[in-house]
Amino acid sequence: MIQSFPLVHSDKARLRVQLWLVFFGWTLMVLLLLLWSLNKEDAEMLELARQEAIDNFNKDQAFRVWATTHGGVYVPVTERTQPSPLLNHIPERDLVTPSGRQLTLMNPAYMLRQMMDDYADLYGVRGRITSIKPLNPDNAPDDWERAALESFSRGEKEQFELTDIDGEPYLRLIRPMQTQAGCLKCHHNQGYKVGDVRGGVGISVPMRDYLATAAVQKREISMGLGLIWLAGLSAIGFYAKRSYQRLEERKDYEDQIWQQANFDSLTGLSNRNLFLDRLDHALAYAQRQQTMVALLFIDLDRFKYVNDALGHVTGDQLLQEAARRLRLCVREMDTVSRLGGDEFTVILPAISEGQSVARVAASILNELSRPFDLAAQETHVSASIGITIYPQDGSDSGMLLQHADTAMYQAKEDGRNTYRFFTWEMNREAEGRISMGAALRNAIREKEFLLHYQPIVDIADGQIVGAEALIRWESPGRGRVRPDEFIPVAEESGLIVPIGDWVLQQAALDLKQWDRAGLKMELLSVNVSTVQFQYEGFLEKMADLLKANQHLSSRLFLEITESVFLNEHREPGVRLGVLRQQGIRISIDDFGTGYSSLSYLKRFPVDKIKIDRSFVRDVTTDPEDAALCEAIIAMAHHLGLKVVAEGVETEAQWQFLRKSGCDFAQGFYFSQPLTVGDFTEYLGKHRNMMVVG
Ligand code: C2E
Ligand code: CA
Ligand code: CA
């Protein structure tokens, strides 16, 4: 359930709306333009027709003026031009030309009607005069003409309309006809004066040709605009495609950024960022629903060893495979994250009981302890898991994570490859460790440490051959703190390096005092922690120490533990060789408790082994431990190594060790670790004298 930016989706919707708006806007604009153009076309056509009508009207007027000024025209009498009964009162109505041709006077109105009829027959243009008080009944107005004539009396100058005449389209135009002086000849008895509107002259122009031309024009305009519309559409389409593309690109880019910001590039798991986000969500949900959330903090054991010994590429492969296995152990709804290094977390939201969490933890341990096939080599790691449960172990993600880390630390303490549920007791211990770190820093500054010495006895003759230096911390606030308590904290914080330096310097000084006092010390054992041994500048520091303290040569024994051998990357063999060359001897401390691969003894240059006191303790009661002790001694001798038994407390143990051929012994049976003063006294007292026996 990878969530992505909702941003792009809303952007897409916005773009879609935008595109539709542009599309509708463009279409509307083209449609309006089309309507306007078609209207204009109609108006132009109408204006042309009107102009034609006006031309005809003007001609009609000119004829009429001419006719009225000249008072009629004599024409030969024909069938169409019979003498007019209306002109009976005129004596010279009919004339005979000297050549005998019969002429008759034609009344101008009558003449013009005939001309108009002819014009109509020839060109389709019809003319007609009309009057409110017509002399000729044919000139009576129709409804439209009557309305026009009425409007003229109100001062209008023209009316026109589109109409049908005998099923054909026509433009009909009418203009007022004003009474001229000549008109009164015929119309004087109707009561008109010069200037009165007597009627109107109507002209009808056929529209067929105009309409046909306009139709062609309109079609062309429509097609042209249609093409422009389509061109606009394709531009919009192109723009849309580009915009979508750009959005997609941006989405890809944002996805990539989001991926980088939220996922671990090596394993593909969510990273710390997303982990915290998911945890916060799970907690908020659990709070609303009154359920629990479990947080598992997983740390691989010995991962550093794999990384150092087999290289980073192999280390990366291991992490990838571990991530894959982790995912197999959880449900779809659970979140597996890598916080960094070899630290992983699992969020189990909505759990009902701790039992199910324990099952998940156990299955994770099981999965991770199966061998890893890496670099053509089977590798084994395991994991330590700390578990916290919301709400009992913490109310927010920071607290839960910190407490899970504490529980994980406890799992490591308890021997690794296990899981631990967080307890508030652990928290107190963890807090104790933190405050102890600060106190240790202070102790170094304030020189709160001192050394005690425990004698080492040669079993063969019962004489003291030397001592082991054991650190003591006299803290003003905490009282005497046992090294078992503060050494692990010093190792974790790196403070063991300056502390260890001080131990070596102090032991060298003390040995010099005993040498000066003529007290015999064949050897001086100093404990060196693995962190200190592997520290970068350790070899140089030892070289400097030996140069400044020649008296240490071949008498200083460094007690190291087997964990030194585990980090092959630090080349323990080479380091031990260099130390050997400087005249330093090596003891393997706590032998038998660690990884105890006997092959180490063969491979690495060491001088001595110290049998751990847990074996020595039971040699007289547990036959198995007795057998083990004897075997270790025999084997060490076989390899040319000396053996020290530590923790010798009783006569019986001493006798057993003597019988077994052990070389040296150390323990409360001879002496507790003593202050420098007490040890000096002890040495003086037992000079050339057996300590026991
Ligand atoms: P270790 O190196 O195994 O030291 C022997 C521990 O056994 C000492 O405890 C000593 O007091 C105790 N011991 C000696 N004889 C007997 C005995 O007969 N019976 C019993 N039950 N215990 C005996 P201590 O001094 O408390 O030191 C504990 C551990 O602290 C040491 O174990 C060593 O690992 C570490 N340590 C002590 N001093 C130093 C130091 O200067 N540097 C480092 N790195 N570690 C140190
Ligand atoms: Ca020791
Ligand atoms: Ca020991």
- The string of DSSP letters for 485-515 reads HHHHHHHHHTTHHHHHHHHHHHHHHHHHHHH
Residue 503 near ligand 1, beta carbon < 6 Å? yes
Give the pLDDT score at 8: 59
Best residue for ligand 1 mutational test, from 501, 502, 527 (most atoms within 8 Å of Cβ): 527
- pLDDT at residue 594, rounded to an integer: 64
Q: Ligand 1: which of 470, 524, 531, 674 to mutate, judged by most atoms within 8 Å of the beta carbon?
A: 470
Return the HEC string of 97-123: CCCCCEEEEECHHHHHHHHHHHHHHHH
Verify whether ligand 1 is closer than 6 Å to residue 487 (CB atom): yes
Q: Using 50 as the pLDDT threshold, list the residues of the chain that sit under it.
A: 1-4
Q: How many angstroms separate the CA atoms of 253 and 237, rounded?
A: 24
All CATH 3.20.20.450 domain ranges in the chain, comma separated: 449-611+662-686
- Please give the distance, rounded to the nearest whole angstrom, from the Cα atom of residue 663 to the centre of ligand 1: 19
Query: Is the CB of residue 143 below 6 angstroms from any atom belonging to ligand 1?
Result: no
* Dihedral of alpha carbons 7, 9, 14, 15, sign: positive
Query: According to the model, what pLDDT value does residue 1 have?
Result: 38
Ligand 3 centroid – CA 568 distance (Å): 23
pLDDT on residue 68: 75
Six-digit token string for 165: 């005449």
Nearest CA to ligand 1 atom 37: 470
For 86, the token pair is 């209306």
CATH number for 71-210 (one of 2.30.240, 3.30.2310, 2.40.50, 3.30.450): it is 3.30.450
Give the dihedral sign, CA 582/450/510/675.
negative
Q: Which residues of 231-266 are buried (b: 16+ CB within 10 A; e: fewer)?
A: ebeeebeeebeebeeebeeebeeeeeeeeeebbbee
Which ligand 1 atom sits closest to the C-alpha of 482? 26
List own/partner pairs for 307-316 with CB under 8 A and 24 or more apart: 308/567, 308/568, 308/569, 308/570, 309/567, 309/568, 309/569, 310/374, 310/375, 310/377, 310/379, 311/375, 313/375, 314/374, 314/375, 314/379, 316/266
Region(s) of the chain under CATH 3.30.450: 71-210
Q: In what helix (H) or strand (E) does residue 36 lie, and over which residues does it extend? A: helix 7-70
Specify the 3-state DSSP secondary structure of 387: strand
Q: Is 471 in the pocket of ligand 1 (CB under 6 A)?
A: yes
Ligand 2 centroid from CA 130, angstroms: 143
Indicate the pTM of the whole model.
0.56
CA distances from 545 to 490, 495, 496 (A): 22, 19, 17
Tell me the ligand closest to 590's alpha carbon: 3
C-alpha 13: how far from chain center: 21
How many whole angstroms from 646 Cα to the centroid of ligand 2?
8
| Cβ neighbour number for residue 420 with a 10 Å cutoff | 21
Ligand 3 center–CA 610 separation, angstroms: 7
DSSP reduced 3-state for 663 = coil
Q: Per-residue pLDDT tens for 60-90?
A: 888 878 877 887 889 999 998 999 888 888 8
The predicted pLDDT at position 553 comes to: 93
Q: Which residue has the tokens 């006798």?
A: 655
Please report, for the chain, how many H helices and E strands are present, in that order.
22, 23
**pLDDT of 599:** 76
Question: Across-strand partners of 163?
Answer: 170
- Residues in Cβ contact with 525 at an 8 Å cutoff, skipping those fewer than 6 apart: 456, 466, 467, 468, 469, 557, 558, 559, 587
pLDDT of residue 404: 97
Single-letter amino acid, residue 615: F
Q: 299 in ligand 1 pocket by Cβ < 6 Å?
A: no
**Cα-to-centroid distance, 526 and ligand 2 (Å):** 7
The residue with tokens 């031009």 is 81
Distance CA 447, CA 531 (A): 21
Ligand closest to the CA atom of residue 587:
2
Query: At 463, which amino acid appears?
Result: Q
| For ligand 1, atom 8: residue with the closest CA | 470
> In this predicted structure, what is the pLDDT of residue 4?
47
Residue 544 has a pLDDT of 97
Give domain 263-422's CATH architecture: 2-Layer Sandwich (3.30)
Burial 632-641 (b: 16+ CB within 10 A, else e): bbeebeeeeb
> Are the CB atoms for 25 and 233 separated by under 8 Å?
no
Pairing mode, strands 479-481 and 464-475: antiparallel
Q: Tell me if residue 693 falls in helix, strand or coil.
A: coil
Residue 200 Cβ inside 6 Å of ligand 1? The answer reads no
Is the shortest distance between the CB of 484 and ligand 1 below 6 Å? Answer: yes
The second-level CATH assignment, the architecture, of 449-611+662-686 is: Alpha-Beta Barrel (3.20)
Residues lying with their CB under 5 A of ligand 3, a single-atom ion: 589-590
- For the record, the structure tokens of 287 come out as 């709070």
Cβ proximity of 634 and 597 under 8 Å = no
DSSP 8-state secondary structure symbol assigned to residue 37: H
Q: Residue 335 and residue 356: Cα distance in Å, rounded?
A: 16
464 is written with which tokens? 């003291």
Q: What is the rounded CA–CA span in Å between residue 620 and residue 631?
A: 15
> Where in the chain is CATH 3.30.70.270?
263-422
Whose Cα sits closest to atom 15 in ligand 1?
667
The protein residue with its alpha carbon nearest to ligand 1, atom 10, reads 673
